């Protein structure tokens, strides 16, 4: 196993910045396996207020990151990172604070990649306390505490993303605090952003996700959606400009994309909640 433990990390703001990043399959690399990683007890300080750019992610797991055109759009031939696997990962007792977009992010498949998998991941007992400052109308993108994505950026340079999969993910006993002061939100405890986000692109799968016993304040509760929902994934902050917190569930069955075996229980959430069920893509 690989152990990343008890480090103190302070990162200034920049594009594509990550405090801890575990990847299988970067920029065209295929058929890689990362098996057994422990990310435990790290203290991460993201960019502070006043830094020119926020840190993107505190802790990231990603398979199938991007094709060979990532750095040079004219590069040929285009090669995609496919058939990569990350499994058996513990992200536990970390503290992530500061100015940033996403505290913990798990992504399988990006920009046209296929057959990538992340499975058997335990996100336990972490503190995520992040925010974005001076962001009117929730722009730049709002802060998210924990994000799980089965395929994102649905179309790559030459082909669609997926199928990719994230499965058997446990998100438990985490404390999430988000801040993004904005004059446009109406509820004093509601800001743009989301505590726990689970979504998938068309033809991708998120399965076996358990979200329980988390303490969430300052953002959405659980935002479960799909890139197949027009506008939702491309501009997710539009659904929360007025400060509403939400459950967003895509029930599409016309394509192979799906969210299966989802358990959400015993979470403490400060602020109102709304359940939104998208029935637009039900097969007829």
String of DSSP letters for 242-268: T---EEEEE---SSS-EEEEEEEES-E
Distance CA 98, CA 196 (A): 18
Q: What are phi and psi of 5, to 5 degrees?
A: -140, 145
Q: Where are the domains of the chain?
A: 2-278
Distance CA 22, CA 2 (A): 10
Q: Which residue from 45, 46, 113 is spatially nearest to 83, judged by alpha carbons?
A: 113
Contact 68, 118 (CB under 8 A): no
Q: Quick one: pLDDT at residue 185?
A: 45
User: pTM of the entire structure?
Assistant: 0.81
Contact 76, 26 (CB under 8 A): no
Convert the pLDDT of each residue in 31-66 to its tens digit: 999 999 999 999 998 875 555 555 678 999 999 988
Residues facing 121 on adjacent strands: 89, 169
pLDDT band at 256 (very low <50, low <70, confident <90, very high): very low
Distance CA 175, CA 96 (A): 10
Convert the pLDDT of each residue in 260-270 to its tens digit: 667 777 777 76
Q: Quick one: pLDDT at residue 71?
A: 82
| Sole residue written with tokens 């970390």 | 94
Q: How many CB atoms lie within 10 A of CB 260?
A: 10
Q: With a cut of 60, say whether residue 216 has pLDDT above it.
A: yes
């Amino acid at each position: 196993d690989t152990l990343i433990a008890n480090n103190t990390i302070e990162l200034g703001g920049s594009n594509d910045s990550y405090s801890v990043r575990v990847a299988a399959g970067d920029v065209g690399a295929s058929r890689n396996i990362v098996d057994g990683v422990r990310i435990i007890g790290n203290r991460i300080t993201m960019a502070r207020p006043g830094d020119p750019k926020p840190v993107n992610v505190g802790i990231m797991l990603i398979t199938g990151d991007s094709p060979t055109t990532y750095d040079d759009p004219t590069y040929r031939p285009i090669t995609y990172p496919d058939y990569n696997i990350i499994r058996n990962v513990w992200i536990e007792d970390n503290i992530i604070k500061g100015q940033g977009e996403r505290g913990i992010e798990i992504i399988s498949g990006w920009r046209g990649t296929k057959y990538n998998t992340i499975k058997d991941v335990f996100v336990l007992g972490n503190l995520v306390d992040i925010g974005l400052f001076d962001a009117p109308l929730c722009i730049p993108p709002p802060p998210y505490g924990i994000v799980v994505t089965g395929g994102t950026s649905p179309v790559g340079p030459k082909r669609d993303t997926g199928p990719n999969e994230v499965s058997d993910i446990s998100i438990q006993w985490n404390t999430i605090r988000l801040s993004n002061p904005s004059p446009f939100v109406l509820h004093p405890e509601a800001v743009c952003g989301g505590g726990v986000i689970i979504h998938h692109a068309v033809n991708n799968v998120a399965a076996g996700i358990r979200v329980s016993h988390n303490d969430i304040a300052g953002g959405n509760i659980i935002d479960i959606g799909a890139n197949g929902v027009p506008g939702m994934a491309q501009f997710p902050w539009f659904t929360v400009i007025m400060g509403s917190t939400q459950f967003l569930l895509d029930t599409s069955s016309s394509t192979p994309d799906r969210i299966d075996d989802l358990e959400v229980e015993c979470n403490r959430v400060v602020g109102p909640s709304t359940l939104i069920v998208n029935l637009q893509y039900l097969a007829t």
